[in-house]
Amino acid sequence: ADGASLDPRLAGATFSNAPSDGGVEGVSVSNVAPGSRAARNGLASGDVLVGVNNVATPTLAQLRRMFAQRPRVLVLSLVRDGQLVQIQIGG
């Protein structure tokens, strides 16, 4: 899924359902275009998005439902290199 179709603040990122091999349930950030809005907002290729605004997003469908509510502020919970990272993106 193209990030821009989810939320303009995620433009330049590509999301896909993550393989659940590492036991992490989330949506994989498979690509982030250099210099894109998603990159400037702190997303990196290889991140696994596990939640948005404290709501779990184990699948792309769940992620779409979350963004359908047009949240003003985004708090993205990501697993990066085995660590949980939170990124806040303003409206």
Q: Could you report the per-residue pLDDT of 28-74, keeping only the tens digit for each? A: 999 999 999 999 999 999 999 999 999 999 999 999 999 999 999 99
CA angle 14/23/70 to nearest 5° reads 40
**Is pLDDT of 10 > 70?**
yes
Backbone angles phi, psi at 28, to 5 degrees: -80, 135
Answer whether 0.75 is exceeded by the pTM.
Answer: yes
Q: CA neighbours within 13 Å on the CB side: how many for 90?
A: 0
